[in-house]
Amino acid sequence: MEPVRVGLLAVLLVVTTEAWGQMSIGSLRSSADSSNLELVTLQGMVHLSRSRQNELGGKCGSTAFTLQDDTGSIDVAIRRSNRLIEALREGDRVQVTAQIEVFRNRENIPVLTCVEASEIQYLSR
């Protein structure tokens, strides 16, 4: 039974690494369904945007900014904005750790992907 335990541990380590792994915005958009409720790391440039809470039915919280990389862009809500050490500025390069939540319609088709940042690290200003 010992080899089975080691194999299971190896599988769990791979899953954990994948969940915390860095990914592009394009990859996230194409695989959002498999990232549902996972933590991911994204890097990109900040583009300040207006709040879209009402447009999204309030499900994603208040959109704080749009994150853009070479593969696309995605709206990001900040889980606890009062914890930001410095305010985000247009053009900042950041690394974001965020939880992904996919909402589905009655036919079980994904209709909305929420990205909620729990940690933001400034790479350059």
**DSSP secondary structure string for all residues of 28-41:** HHHTGGGGTT-EEE
Over residues 40-55, the mean pLDDT reads 77
Over residues 116-124, the mean pLDDT reads 89
Over residues 84-91, the mean pLDDT reads 80
Write down the CATH superfamily of domain 22-124.
Nucleic acid-binding proteins (2.40.50.140)
Which helix (DSSP H) or strand (DSSP E) does residue 3 occupy?
Answer: helix 2-20
Over residues 17-46, the mean pLDDT reads 83
Can you give the residue ranges of every domain in the chain? Answer: 22-124
Over residues 67-86, the mean pLDDT reads 82
The pTM score is 0.73
Higher pLDDT residue, 99 or 83? 99
| Whole-number average pLDDT of the chain | 77
